[in-house]
Chain A
Amino acid sequence: MRLMQRDARKALLVLCLGMLTATPVAAQGEPVVIAGTFDLSGAAADVGKDAFEGAKLAIEIVNGRGGVLGRKLELRHQDNGTNPQKSVDQATAMIRDGAKFLMAPQSSGSAIAVNKAVSGKLKIPTCVSTSTADDITIKDFQPYIFTMSANSYMESRAIATRLAKEPFKRYAVISADYAGGRSGANRFKEFIKELNPNAEIVVEEYPKFGATDYTASINKVLAAKPDYVWSILFGADLITFTKQAQAIGFFEQVNKHFLALYDGNTLKALGDAAVVGTEGWQRVPVNIVSKGAAEGQAYVSGFKAKNGVYPSDWAGLAYDCVMIWAQAVEAAKSIEPDAVMKAIETTEFKSVRGPLKFGAFDHQGEVPVYIGKVVQSKEFGQPLLDIAEIIPGSIARPAEDVVRKLRGN
């Protein structure tokens, strides 16, 4: 009887100890879920698909190294059809089902909605990969967001800083008519006048997004005789504009003093039609990152091996989102949101684009802006930007007092 009692007590003790240790053991075996709501169909499907591929690759690489804190990563994703409300619903659902990290959707409208309605509300670390909307880190900032793309303030500031050193005075501004384009254009106008008091804006054009005919804009810009044409055109808009402008000799007329957001996909699509000698800026230029930091090299070669093509900018931004979060988790030794966000604020990370820090007051990634001239590259078999200047994020980013002022406090 006594024996049995002792045995029972021992068994109970073992059971209790077992339970105590069992919970962490079980958790260690379970993968950490990363949630992603991607624009896989609808208007931003081109960007969404690439971002998805970038995220998948990052997770494979992290898992290949043994995961984070000894746990594997698992990407759960849904297609939001480029719809903000769907993005919010899907992100909310995936987080409630246990995801520990959220990849924000690609289009700005959706990213803004998820930042406010999901990330802050559910206190979940969220990475904005592609949207450049200032609001995310400035007006609508909440402590669980961090961004991997230079925002529109930074890009415009970087470009204005570079152009202000040039002798150009008469600037033309062209942007597709959408919120992000308008805000980029407004910032550029403000900065170029601030940094070069002689600069003036001689014409502004805002053709509709996805326009099929740019003759009016082209002719109006030419008629104003600008020294330099600043544009924030990209993707389909840049392709259509380039062809129609090329046809009537626009680029010769402005001495190729034309600037646009030449992302990798657009350059590739343009192919022979890309206007060599015009300028552009880019977020993750494959020709630079593949020869830069070890992380960049691993990323480009990994992507090429997996998908057979070079990665676009959008893939690189999403890839960095996962990688930075994984590093933050390792630094914090925890996947708990507050610990991870603390690590985001205090750690110097290794990114595809080199060492990377985040502003403690806005969680804006201090990523560089790459500016260069269009060339045809034999090595990559497509046109590329021959990067002439890399403007560090620490120079282009808004300082803390500027951010506070813009936030109105």
Chain B
Amino acid sequence: MEHLSWRRALLLVLLGLAAAALVLVVPESRLPAVTRTVMLAGAAMSLNLLIGNAGLVSMGHGLFLGFGAYVVAIGSVKHGLSLSWCIALAISSAVVLAVVSAIIALRARALFFGLLTLALSQVAFVFVARNYALTGGDDGLVGINVPKWLDSDLAQHFVAVGVTTAVCLLLLMILASPFGAILRALRDNPERVASLGGHPKHIEFIAFVIAGILAAIMGVVAAITDQAVEPTLISWTTGATLLVMVALGGRFTFLGPILGVVILETTRTLVQTYSEHSDLVVGLLVMGCALAFPEGIGPSLQGSRLGRWFGGPVHMAEAATPPSTERTAAP
């Protein structure tokens, strides 16, 4: 495991460097779109800690992403706090939010858990979209102040890449640790974990909180790179989009979520440049993938040489047997 981990870590760093080096290839005018994709990739990776590894299908991950972004925006735009204060505030309050929503959401199981997270994010969405004085309502907040060194597309891209890489490395460490092993064991066979003396609820709780905090950190990145927030970031559409990205890329492959984000976001951005039918093209693409790769594209790459180098599964063995929690929903 250790050896594997080192190779993976190196790969991640190389991938991060490659993403940073995109600035040499991508025209300057397209860079913000690329930066946005990197931010979403980090968010999808944090979501997959829940989906692929804990078997918790969260549909409301936008809650944390939006929360992180909104705390920074409110702090900066409404109260004129400096960015570092905003970030500290965002992350510390995200811990509280993650703990509270974990307590609520984890009461429900399987798909009901997903729907409960969806309901939570929708309640938060309506709250944000209707509190005009605090959040700017549906117009959102524009004009987040960043320090001078951060006020360029280049710097923002590097920050997004840096944070996303760090988040991925952290996730890799978590998954390679005994905790990661328990998490997957729990996903596949909760009774066994319990009978061996583990506390399934505690483990899931910790995973949920970590994923929530990491998503909030990506939300901070979104606030910094966009210098603006708007409420759809919190709504279920963001949560559902991230879910589809993870599913499309492959939830049982470590880097699957990134693959899903890159494919979907690049397609949409490109199509939008030329046509108003991005929904049609993205929709057909997703349908095609559903038929060709119901388990996501990542796993189908695993057989190939490319796939092995791309960073095969953290848990190849489990990929063959879909977790039990999902079977219950699909008799």
Chain A interfacial positions (CB closer than 8 Å to B): 40-41, 45, 78-81, 83-86, 88-90, 92-97, 108-109, 112-113, 115-117, 133, 135, 140, 177-180, 182, 209
Tell me, in angstroms, the Cα distance from A118 to B134 when the chains sit together: 24
Q: In the complex, which residues of chain B have a beta carbon less than 8 angstroms from the beta carbon of A178? A: 137-138
B108-116, B166-174, B179-187, B226-234 - interface stretch? B226-234
Q: A92–B136 Cα gap in the complex (Å)?
A: 23
Is the beta-carbon distance between B29 and A109 smaller than 8 angstroms? no
Partner of A109, one of B27, B139, B278: B139
* A113 and B142 contacting across the interface, CB-CB below 8 Å: yes
Asked if A41 contacts B227 (CB within 8 A), the reply is no
Task: Report the minimum CB–CB distance from A190 to chain B (whole Å).
Answer: 16
CB of A361, distance to nearest CB on chain B (Å): 20
B130 and A133 form a contact (CB under 8 A): no
Docked CA distance A98–B43 (Å): 33
Given A92-B32, A96-B28, do A179 and B272 touch, yes or no (CB 8 Å)? no
Whether A89 touches B33, Cβ cut-off 8 Å, given contacts A79-B276, A84-B228, is yes
> Chain B at the A interface: mostly helix, strand, loop or mixed?
helix
B132 at the interface (CB under 8 A from A): yes
Question: Does B328 lie at the interface of the complex (its beta carbon under 8 Å from any beta carbon of A)?
Answer: no
- Distance between A392 CB and nearest chain B CB, rounded to angstroms: 28
What residues of B have a CB within 8 angstroms of the CB of A92 in the complex?
29, 32
In the complex, what residues of B have CB within 8 A of residue A79's CB?
272, 275-276, 278
Task: Using CB atoms, name the residue of chain B closest to A86.
Answer: B272
Q: How many residues of B contact A (CB 8 A)?
A: 31
| B230/A140 in contact, CB under 8 A | no
Q: Closest A-chain residue to B227, C-beta based?
A: A117
**A97 B140 Cβ-Cβ under 8 A:** no
A-B contact pairs, 13 of them (CB 8 A): A41-B279, A84-B228, A85-B36, A85-B226, A89-B32, A90-B272, A115-B142, A116-B228, A117-B227, A117-B228, A140-B143, A178-B138, A179-B132
**Which of A95, A96, A113, A135 is B228 in contact with, Cβ under 8 Å?**
A113
Q: Could you tell me if A182 and B132 are in contact, using CB atoms closer than 8 angstroms?
A: yes
What residues make up the interface of B, taking CB atoms closer than 8 Å to A? 27-30, 32-33, 36, 130, 132, 136-140, 142-143, 226-228, 230, 232, 268-269, 272-279
CB pair B32 A88 closer than 8 Å: yes
Cβ–Cβ contact B30 & A116, under 8 A: no
Residue pair B137, A80 in contact (C-beta under 8 Å): no
Known contacts A41-B276, A78-B272, A92-B32; is-contact A108 B139 (Cβ 8 Å): yes
CB distance from A88 to the nearest CB of B (A): 7
Contact B226 A88 (CB under 8 A): yes
* A179 touching B142, Cβ below 8 Å: no
> What residues of A have a CB within 8 angstroms of the CB of B226 in the complex?
85, 88, 117
A262→B137 CA distance, assembly (Å): 24
Asked if A179 contacts B32 (CB within 8 A), the reply is: no
Q: Which residue of A lies closest to B222 (CB)?
A: A85
Could you say which of A84, A180, A182 has the most chain B C-beta atoms within 10 Å of its C-beta? A84
Closest to A83 in B: B232
Bound complex: CA A94 to CA B32 (Å): 12
Q: Which residues of A contact B228 (CB under 8 A)?
A: 84-85, 88, 113, 116-117
Q: A89-B33, A93-B30 are in contact. Are A116 and B143 (CB under 8 A)?
A: yes
